[in-house]
Amino acid sequence: MWSRITPVTRPGSRGYVGGVEGINTRGQVVVKDKEEGGCDGLNSLPSLYIDLCLGSNDTLNVAAHNTLARWYCRGEEGRLKESGDDIAVREPVPAHSVVSPQINNTRAATMTTYFSYPDESLQQELRRIANAITAPGKGILAADESVSTMGKRLSDINVENTDENRRKYRQLLFTTDKAVSEYISGVILFHETVYQKADDGTPFINLIKEKGIIAGIKVDKGVVPLMGSEGESTTQGLDDLSQRCAQYKKDGCDFAKWRCVLKIGKNTPSYESMLENANVLARYASICQMNGLVPIVEPEVLPDGEHDLDRAQKVTETVLAFVYKALNDHHVFLEGTLLKPNMVTAGQSCSKKFKPEEVAKATVVALSRTMPAAVPGVTFLSGGQSEEEASVHLDAINKCTEAKKPWALTFSYGRALQASVLRAWGGKDENVKGGQAELMNRAKANSEAALGKYKWGSCQGYAGDKGLFIKDHAY
């Protein structure tokens, strides 16, 4: 008699759910009757149903849930149809007859839609932080370079990569005049930087917060190869993330950032890569929110390659669709998140060059097709663009009218805010003021761009129009 059903494969399933033996090929739940030691007729269905709802996400629970819900709600007549032996098979009923028990909250939920958002006070805190970061005309200074990446930055200006030189450079950034807070709302730090101090012993994080700027922290531990893929990657660091987030919150950080990387090629990004990275970002985001940190979600589609603007737009749309599906699956509170995407640009090796207005249209349309309006804002990465390109493109995006833009559209720049600063400083104490002036000028330019008010070419820094592209950029 078992030839017409799919037997349960998980060991102990029968004992766990009290008599459900399997699901037949039409998706019907098969139940043993009382004489066989299975469920005790109709009287046992309520407890059996609740057991299914509260049980683990094994194959039987997921597949059987809605079927049992419809079964239980039909009433005594018509619930079971005798099959001629000791197996009772439920016949299909309309989906609208399904109701769900109250589980752990006041809203009806089924197993597949059960959720647990942060409590109301935490939601308000996350929302407040996210809105403050994306306040009009303000953006983020990404100063979260790792030790090795900071070494590359310093080598460009012939400065040795030592603890002290890294500390001196970051001191330059964080002791810039308080007026910088008119343009900068948040700073992303690296672990080392959270615990560094200025010459007078003041922790850097205190210097930042004294200016009314919100401190954030890079919490991923870098990209690693994704096995079985064509040179694709995922990002590591989830194992101890909750503990680290809790500590960073205690130490004064209010938001976090996690970067995943996707590549455009003939066969990439693959389904495997998009799914893996989207789920990693979602797990990171949910862990951050549990610990009071606003997660900045960064699925960067690298500009490496020969692809044109249309291909870049389609890939960006697909990647973002994966990301927001995963965030929904993990019940992330979207109002307490921010997105840090790439702008939609053609590959660095593409022979055709596109106007800022074309980049803006492709970017805004891609976001409008995939990004929920519940998210407060977008903090674009610069992605190897020159300082001026990053400002011009951000300005064009904010001026674009090709699609609705319900979010703040601002910046989270590293290289595009610091290239001129580094060159002006050059590792010399006497050049600190010059470096700070460059930071102030570039921050002001991007503030204007975030409002759609930047006059293209009006801010020329030490770095000029030098491109900041780094192949296969990892940090």
C-alpha closest to that of 299 among 257, 243, 270, 356: 257
Whether the CB-CB separation of 287 and 293 falls below 8 Å is answered with: no
The DSSP call for residue 406 is: -
Catalytic residue among 138, 168, 211, 340: 340
Q: Is 272 part of the annotated catalytic residue set? A: no
The tokens describing 384, both together, are 């190897």
Pairing status of strand 87-89 against strand 81-82: antiparallel
Whether the CB-CB separation of 359 and 402 falls below 8 Å is answered with: no
Name, in order, each residue with C-beta under 8 angstroms of 227's C-beta and a sequence gap of 6 or more: none
Question: DSSP letters of 240-273?
Answer: THHHHHHHHHHTT--EEEEEEEE--SSS-S-HHH
The tokens describing 23, both together, are 């699901």
Catalytic residue among 232, 298, 317, 448: 298
Dihedrals phi, psi of 299, to nearest 5 degrees: -95, 90
C-alpha closest to that of 448 among 214, 135, 138: 138
> Residue 140 carries which side chain, given as an amino acid letter?
I
* Cα 266 from chain centre: 25
Q: Is 298 part of the annotated catalytic residue set? A: yes
C-alpha closest to that of 447 among 384, 376, 394: 394
**Please, what is the Cα angle at 256 between 215 and 461, to 5 degrees?**
60
Q: Packing angle between helix 147-155 and helix 163-174, nearest 10 degrees?
A: 80
Pairing status of strand 233-235 against strand 223-225: antiparallel
Integer Cα distance of 161 and 419 in angstroms? 17
The residues with which 300 forms a beta bridge, in sequence order, are 261
Peptide bond into 7 cis (omega under 30): no
Name, in order, each residue with C-beta under 8 angstroms of 110's C-beta and a sequence gap of 6 or more: 53, 65, 66, 69, 98, 100
Query: Where are any strands of DSSP class E within 287-407?
Result: 294-301, 338-339, 377-380
Integer Cα distance of 359 and 343 in angstroms? 7
Catalytic center residues: 298, 340
